Amino acid sequence: ETVLTQSPGTLSLSPGERATLSCRVSQSVTTSYLAWYQQKPGQAPRLLIYGASSRATGIPDRFSGTVSGTDFTLTIDRLEPEDFAVYYCQHYGGSSWTFGQGTKMEFK
């Protein structure tokens, strides 16, 4: 079973700063099947990044995804107030999907 470990659990930043969120996968995986989602309180998740580095439709270029081995990173440049939310990584493999436990981004 693939385990996705997100860090940090909570990230305290200010608008205008850069956020770096990590998702470490427990085994070598297909990068094509790694996605990132944003979820705000009381709302459904929203797809941000798929295939580890491709932005979903309508997602600003402040959001970017990279991968190095089994370490996936979501970077958000020039934080806007609406970016403060919870972020999840997700991977598909072996006919099942796995989510990381989430990183909460809060105002510093």
Partner 1 sequence: EMQLVESGGGLVKPGGSLRLSCEGSGFTFDSYSMNWVRQAPGKGLEWVSSISSSGTYISYADSLKGRFAISRDNAKNSLYLQMNSLRVEDTAVYFCAKGAGGKQNDCWGQGTLVTVSS
A 10 A CB-CB count for 12 gives 12
Window 16 to 75, contacts with partner 1 (CB under 8 A): 32-33, 35, 37, 39, 43-47, 50-51, 54, 56-57
Whichever of 20 and 98 has its CB closer to partner 1, that residue is 98
Minimum CB distance to partner 1, residue 1 (Å): 8
CB 2 within 8 A of CB 93: yes
Alpha-carbon span 66 to 49, nearest angstrom: 10
CA atoms of 48 and 60, how far apart (whole Å):
9
Q: Which residues bind partner 1 (CB under 8 A)?
A: 32-33, 35, 37, 39, 43-47, 50-51, 54, 56-57, 88, 90, 92, 95-102
